[in-house]
Structure 1
């Protein structure tokens, strides 16, 4: 049902408020829940040049989607967000916001938050309470950092877009966003990426391009992102790609232009992704056959049967090490089962704690 309400703003300006009832279908098992959902409303206040929010007589608890985009809002009242208890989608893109209210943490049902195109310098720590959040778009702001523990709390986040900001790093907790499918952090000032990227078992798209003179290296763990389909590291200062990238079996797109690459050389890059992956795999294999004083973490994985068929006992069964049972691992192309990916962190392999028995 669509209808219009007319209300005079303080400047005697006409404003249109569009409200629609959310339509749903009911079933026997969830009839009561659906009946409640029928009462929820979608409110559209976009593109009205609002400088402040009008005082409507709406029941804020019935709103499931609020569109405040393309206005001139400089702030959102704490009291407003605190009462949006059933909010699922909040769109405040293209305003003049410098911060978000701390009461944003009250939106426990929020799934989509779009704050792009504002002047926001930091996110309130309370955003971690939005544990239903699946998509966060904070592009084109002035963010210098994200909350340190954001990755520990937003366990349902599938898309994180923070491009065109002033981020110097991503918090280490980012590697705990196990549901994440898309990470877009281009056009920032990133000097490095978190080491434990292998925990991002569902990540399909990673874009860290155009960090220009800041990003010089990529972590080896990037080669353990087994779901990765697209990787864009173009226009940085990267001289060498991690050899582990050659193991990304699902990778279909790799963008490396605009880097002073030495390994692989550009004559190899020009031959296509397949040749690049072969080159990196050969380099990695050659690396663990060459004796060195300090073994690489990949070499250590080989030693403990991650990249080969494992050590066999005389009875033909695969050897089991204390605290580390080697299942039916595949060859180097397959790397390892996501179930054990957390065990392959370089930091863990080189930890003083003895995870493997000799």
Structure 2
């Protein structure tokens, strides 16, 4: 019995190499020892089934399994990952979203070529301390809709990361920075409980950031160095002031600050010359003393439910404006009429 177990383990080790030649040798040895092929393939059967590997023979199915570079195991009700998944060394993309995983399996940390990992919509509460050690080639990481409360310090090792989704978790603080992630373009931290983000957090490569539905009182100054950024969503926070140098974001097109506690806007705000959509609904603004003529391509402006009692002369000279909401303020009736008559072709809520 011990001898047969030793041969069986040897056969499995040959298969784990993923080499067609070794897999063929494993089947040859099994035949010579009268070990049934069903027994040989049993440890791989779940993977073959879930990955929908087709083949006329068991040998063909096994060889095809080792050829795949993408694994889609999403929405399978899995509580753990299939056995032997770590031996599929050609895999560079794994989707395990919509399952019941409560932790990141160690088997996922041994894919040196993995560039896309989706673990969204599970029950993961924390990431292992060595999470990033062997995943340094990650291009896209989706950890959204989990229960993660903090991130490991070595998260900054993910230098090739471009897309990072951490939305809808239980994060309260981001106490490290992504300076080394010089390719990061999209960062989603929305729908957490974040009250503090390290001031040097954001890399200059950012193009889109989502901070909405947190507990932030301010946006880190490092955002002003992200000169390629075109979208900032920071609605539903408790932001009381904006970085003074926000005007440096010369490529910013969309800025949503709805439902915050802003009373004034920094003077540099009017330097956002590429701004197309500005949402300042439900703040505490008493004035908007900006030179709106500089916002040459602004198309949508939302100022609903503030405390604005007057507008500057330049407010009537926003040439590309298509939609304006300034209802629920303290404007005089004559000012309202002037706004309406000035923007007859706009969709207006006054």
* TM norm. shorter chain > 0.5: yes
Asked if 1:47 corresponds to 2:98, the answer is yes
Q: Residues 91 and 111 of structure 2 are in contact (CA less than 8 Å); yes or no, is this contact kept in structure 1?
A: no
The DSSP-based 3-state class of the residue aligned with 1:206 is: strand
- Which of these two proteins has the greater Rg computed from alpha carbons? 2
Runs of 4+ in 1 over 3 A off after TM superposition: 5-8, 15-20, 272-275
Query: How far 1:21 moved relative to its partner?
Result: 2.4
SS at match of 1:267: helix
TM-score by length of 1: 0.64
Are the aligned partners of 1:220 and 1:244 in contact in 2 as well (CA < 8 Å)? Answer: no
Match of 1:209 among 247, 258, 268: 258
Structure 1 position 81 matched with structure 2 position 132: yes
Between Structure 1 and Structure 2, how many residues are aligned? Answer: 248
8 A Cα contact 1:208 1:233, kept in partner: yes
| 1:224 equivalent among 236, 252, 271 | 271
Structure 2 unaligned runs (5+)? 1-43, 53-64, 71-88, 312-330, 345-350
Q: 2:191 aligned to 140, 163, 171, which one?
A: 140
Task: Please give the alpha-carbon distance, in whole angstroms, between the structure 2 residues aligned to 1:137 and 1:105.
Answer: 16
Distance (whole Å) between structure 1 residues aligned to residue 308 and residue 157 of structure 2: 47
Counterparts in 2 of 1:18-57, with a 5 A limit?
21=69, 39=90, 41-56=92-107
Whole-Å Cα distance in 2 between the matches of residues 188 and 17 of structure 1? 42
Whether the 8 Å contact between 1:76 and 1:100 is mirrored in structure 2 is yes
Check if 1:106 corresponds to 2:157: yes
Aligned-residue Cα RMSD (Å) equals: 2.8
Report deviation, 1:80.
2.2
- Residue equivalent to 1:271: 340
Q: Equivalent residue for 1:116?
A: 167
Query: 1:176: Cα distance to partner?
Result: 1.4
Residue 185 of structure 1 is aligned with which of 209, 228, 234?
234
Cα distance in structure 2, aligned partners of 1:57 and 1:149: 30
* Secondary structure of residue in 2 paired with 1:80: coil
Match in the other structure for 1:157? 206
- Give the Cα separation in 2 of the matches to 1:84 and 1:268: 60
Residue 112 of structure 2 aligns to a residue in which SS?
Answer: helix
**Alpha-carbon shift at residue 57 of structure 1 (Å):** 7.0
Residue 173 of structure 1 and its aligned partner are, at CA, apart by 2.2
Deviation track 1:211-250 (CA, whole Å, cap 9, x = no partner) reads 1xx2111112111111111100011111111222342001
Cα 1:273/1:53, change in 2 over 3 Å: farther
Give the C-alpha shift of residue 58 in structure 1.
6.8
The whole-number CA distance in structure 1 between the counterparts of 2:215 and 2:236 is 8
Mapping for residues 294-333 of structure 1, pairs under 5 Å: none
Distance 1:101 1:269, change over 3 A: farther
Q: Is the 8 A contact 1:221 1:244 kept in 2?
A: no
CA distance in structure 2 between the partners assigned to 1:245 and 1:94 by the alignment: 40
User: Is the 8 Å Cα contact of residues 224 and 248 (structure 2) preserved in structure 1?
Assistant: yes
2:225 aligned with 1:176, yes or no?
yes
User: TM-score scaled to structure 2, two decimals?
Assistant: 0.65
Aligned residue number for residue 252 of structure 1: 299
Shift of 1:157: 0.4
In 2, are the aligned partners of 1:223 and 1:242 still within 8 Å (CA)? no
* Equivalent residue number for residue 131 of structure 1: 182
Residue pair 2:206, 2:226 contacting (<8 A) in 1 also: yes
Residue 259 of structure 1: how far off its partner (Å): 1.1
